[in-house]
């Protein structure tokens, strides 16, 4: 959730300064783990996270219960009931439907309504992708995989088999897409019933009605599904406003309007001074045919850990042009002239004739980033945790049962089914498929909301997990060997991100180092950076923080990737709650 005291919502302002009754009904979608009423609402009906379509658990004004029926109908009926009971009060109601969010689930009465029908093929459905960034072309090949592997995005990787031109395909309107349209019907019915209710109350023409989406969605455009990319289908949303006192029916406003313009518009209509912290502009002057308005806006996208395949994005859209950049990658940018190419099929970024336009638009991105105080990451460092070396092992003098922590933090390890042997590299822990060293969780190895740097020297005889911490789905990281290659993976959401090495390490000594910082995770072999994966925040743990050398039986960290135990030798280990930019220091 946002800070309700520092930046109160427009509902709080309308309630406190304008005397409006404030109502929230539907999907809140901030603060995923509780559905308690938020400040600023006289009436609250909501649910946790995305909710479910059928018989959903809900919270009404602090009372938890399980509703019966179809979610969209439940929300529509709640809105109508509130209007019935509050017909004489000035109000602001936010009706936030779950529909149409995946899994698309229409009401029973609407299921199959569009069977056998399909819309026209999208103009970019057969985008050949020839001039698109490499990450995007790879994404289309295997859309929303279970993991992000850095090896999949290397130009020299023959396993990707990316065609120079994606072949033409027949338009295939899938059942889940049909169900998307069918699920909208109950939303439409509800809006019609609410308008009928307002008319019966004598308030229809005295009420500002705004109907809008919160994001776009691909239905095969550019061969994609979902959203996140900066194409028009993803970032443009419908918005219809009804208020005949100011907006003439049938009017189309062509200027660039943003969702941040809603709050200032409400304030002006309510006769309330817009607070100084509010971004955006009141649309009222557009209703009055003013031509003075913004000419561009900044689009930003941070890495979503559920979908790490999509890189951080900075873009600018003007009335005619769009420039899309990917600051954390070496990929090409995208430049489109929207007036002549509204479907964004022709990337002009490498055309010499448009170099000056790119310079001009990049300056606009920089200006808007400064104006909006854009930050490369939204993550916040936990400053209550001290940084530095938190654990260090070298196995010299180890008695075979306990390995002493040389960092001074008492993170001693309990050895199970492993021995200590002499090697050309000094004393080493000898691991078999049953071996492990367990370091019980402690404050000093808790890296939630902190950077991590870890390094060790080892000789692998087979694939397996070398070092790991945490639990699958609750925050975890792992150093492991797969197909002979060293890897570093993290998982603090439903999906895995892995930095893959490039050469086999079987049968030879290597020094492996890995780091997690705000913007990326990196892996180094013998001091050379071999892989980097973009990221948007520090790791976060919701479960065990136990650190394990080898593989604790029955424990899953990343899931199915690191499912074997390490076999080989380890001579030393360093664990820092700190970002170390030079791998030789780790």
Total domains present in the chain: 4
Do residue 542 and residue 567 come from a single domain? yes
Tell me, what's the pLDDT at 555?
A: 61
Half-sphere exposure of 149 (CA within 13 A, CB side): 18
Do residue 54 and residue 197 come from a single domain? yes
Domain membership of residue 221 (yes or no) is no
**Alpha-carbon span 461 to 432, nearest angstrom:** 9
Residue 443 neighbours by CB distance under 10 Å = 11
Domain membership of residue 1 (yes or no) is no
Site of tokens 């609750």: 474
Tell me, what's the pLDDT at 141?
A: 63
Q: Is 585 helix (H, G, I), strand (E, B) or coil?
A: helix
What mean pLDDT, rounded, does the chain reach? 91
Do residue 183 and residue 69 come from a single domain? yes
Domain membership of residue 259 (yes or no) is yes
Do residue 69 and residue 179 come from a single domain? yes
Q: Which two tokens stand for residue 94?
A: 């936010």
DSSP string, 69-97: SBHHHHHHHHHHHHHHHTTTS-EEEEEE-
Answer left, alpha or beta for residue 395, where phi above 0 means left and psi between -120 and 50 means alpha: left
Instruction: Give the chain's end-to-end CA distance (angstroms, integer).
Output: 37
Do residue 480 and residue 347 come from a single domain? no
Do residue 86 and residue 145 come from a single domain? no
Tell me, what's the pLDDT at 144?
A: 39
Do residue 40 and residue 156 come from a single domain? no
**Alpha-carbon span 72 to 53, nearest angstrom:** 8
Find the CATH number of the domain harbouring 66: 3.40.720.10
Do residue 45 and residue 99 come from a single domain? yes
Find the CATH number of the domain harbouring 545: 2.60.120.200
Query: Length of the chain, please?
Result: 586
Tell me, what's the pLDDT at 159?
A: 45
Tell me, what's the pLDDT at 582?
A: 72
- 321-357: per-residue pLDDT in tens? 999 999 877 789 999 999 999 999 999 999 999 999 9
**Alpha-carbon span 239 to 206, nearest angstrom:** 19
Question: Helices 175-201 and 71-85 sit at what angle, rounded to 10 degrees?
Answer: 10
Tell me, what's the pLDDT at 409?
A: 98
Specify burial of residue 532 (Cβ count, 10 A radius: 0-12, 13-18, 19+). Answer: middle
Domain membership of residue 65 (yes or no) is yes
Tell me, what's the pLDDT at 552?
A: 58
Domain membership of residue 335 (yes or no) is yes
Beta carbons within 8 Å of 408's beta carbon, 6+ residues apart: none
Share of the chain above pLDDT 70, in %: 94
Do residue 506 and residue 552 come from a single domain? yes
Domain membership of residue 222 (yes or no) is no
Residue 259 belongs to domain spanning: 251-290
pLDDT block averages, 10 residues each, the chain of length 586: 87 96 95 89 96 97 98 99 94 96 95 93 95 84 60 61 80 90 97 98 97 92 92 95 95 95 97 94 95 96 78 95 91 97 98 98 98 81 93 92 96 94 95 91 93 96 92 85 93 79 95 90 94 80 86 65 82 95 74
Domain membership of residue 542 (yes or no) is yes
Do residue 406 and residue 552 come from a single domain? yes
- 455-511: per-residue pLDDT in tens? 999 999 999 999 999 887 788 899 999 999 999 999 876 677 889 999 999 999 999
Among the three residues 348, 376, 404, which one is the final residue of a domain in this structure? 376
Using CA atoms, how far residue 201 sits from 80, 207, 208, 468, in Å, is: 11, 11, 14, 63
Angle at CA of residue 422, ends 421 and 425, nearest 5°: 120
CA dihedral 228, 231, 235, 236 (to 10 degrees): -150
Cα-Cα-Cα-Cα dihedral sign, residues 115, 117, 123, 129? positive
Q: Which residues pair with 241 in a beta bridge?
A: 210
**Alpha-carbon span 267 to 86, nearest angstrom:** 22
Cα-Cα-Cα-Cα dihedral sign, residues 392, 394, 395, 397? negative
Domain membership of residue 233 (yes or no) is no
Residue 250 in contact with residue 241, Cβ under 8 Å? no
Do residue 455 and residue 507 come from a single domain? yes
**Alpha-carbon span 456 to 565, nearest angstrom:** 16
**Alpha-carbon span 326 to 310, nearest angstrom:** 10
Do residue 100 and residue 199 come from a single domain? yes
Residue 466 in contact with residue 570, Cβ under 8 Å? yes
Residue 407 in contact with residue 396, Cβ under 8 Å? no
């Amino acid at each position: 959730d946002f800070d309700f005291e520092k930046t109160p919502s427009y509902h709080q302002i309308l309630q406190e300064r304008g005397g409006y009754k404030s109502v929230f009904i539907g999907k809140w979608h901030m603060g995923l783990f509780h559905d308690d009423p938020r400040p600023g609402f006289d009436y609250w009906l909501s649910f946790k996270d995305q909710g479910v379509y059928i018989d959903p658990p809900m919270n009404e004004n602090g009372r938890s219960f399980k509703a019966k029926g179809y979610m969209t109908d439940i929300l529509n009926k709640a809105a109508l009931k509130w209007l019935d009971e509050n017909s004489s009060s000035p109000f602001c109601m936010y009706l936030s439907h779950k529909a149409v969010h995946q899994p698309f689930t229409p009401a029973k009465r609407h299921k199959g309504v569009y069977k056998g029908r399909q819309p026209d093929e999208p103009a970019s459905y057969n985008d050949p992708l020839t001039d698109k960034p490499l990450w995007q072309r790879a994404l289309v090949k295997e859309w929303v995989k279970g993991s992000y592997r850095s090896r999949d995005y290397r130009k020299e990787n023959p396993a990707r088999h990316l065609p120079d031109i994606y072949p033409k395909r027949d338009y295939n309107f899938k059942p889940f897409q049909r169900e998307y349209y069918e699920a909208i019907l109950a939303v439409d019915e509800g809006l019609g019933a609410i308008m009928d209710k307002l008319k019966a109350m004598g308030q229809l023409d005295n009420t500002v009605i705004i109907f809008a989406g919160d994001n776009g969605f691909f239905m095969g455009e550019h061969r994609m599904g979902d959203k996140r990319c900066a194409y028009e289908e993803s970032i443009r949303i419908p918005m219809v406003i009804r208020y005949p006192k100011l907006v003439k029916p049938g009017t189309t406003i062509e200027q660039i309007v943003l969702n941040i313009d809603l709050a200032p518009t409400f304030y002006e209509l309510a006769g309330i001074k817009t607070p100084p912290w509010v971004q955006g502009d009141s649309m009222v002057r557009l209703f009055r045919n003013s031509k003075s308005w913004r000419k561009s806006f900044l689009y930003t996208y941070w890495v979503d850990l559920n979908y790490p395949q999509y890189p951080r994005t900075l873009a600018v859209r003007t009335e005619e042009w769009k420039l899309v950049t990917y600051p954390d990658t070496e990929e090409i940018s995208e430049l489109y002239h929207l007036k002549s190419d509204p479907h964004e099929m022709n990337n002009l970024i490498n055309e010499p004739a448009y170099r000056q336009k790119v310079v001009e638009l990049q300056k606009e991105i920089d200006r808007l980033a400064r104006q909006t105080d854009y930050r490369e990451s939204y993550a916040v460092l936990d400053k209550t945790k001290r940084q530095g070396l938190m654990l260090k092992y070298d196995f010299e003098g180890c008695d075979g049962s306990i390995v002493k922590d040389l960092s001074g933090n008492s993170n001693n390890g309990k050895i199970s089914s492993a021995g200590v042997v002499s090697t050309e590299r000094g004393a080493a822990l000898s691991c078999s498929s049953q071996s492990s060293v367990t370091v019980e969780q402690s404050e000093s190895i808790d890296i939630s909301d902190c950077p991590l740097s870890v390094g060790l020297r080892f000789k692998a005889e087979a694939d397996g997990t070398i070092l790991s911490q945490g639990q699958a789905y609750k925050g975890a990281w792992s150093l492991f060997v797969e197909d002979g290659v060293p890897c570093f993976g993290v998982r603090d959401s439903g999906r895995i991100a892995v930095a893959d090495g490039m050469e086999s390490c079987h049968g030879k000594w290597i020094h492996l180092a890995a780091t997690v910082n705000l913007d990326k995770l990196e892996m180094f072999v013998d001091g050379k950076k071999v892989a980097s994966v973009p990221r948007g925040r520090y790791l976060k743990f919701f479960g065990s923080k136990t650190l394990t050398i080898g593989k604790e039986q029955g424990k899953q960290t990343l899931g199915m990737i690191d499912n074997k135990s390490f076999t080989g030798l380890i001579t030393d280990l360093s664990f820092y709650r700190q970002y170390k930019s030079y791998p030789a220091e780790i």
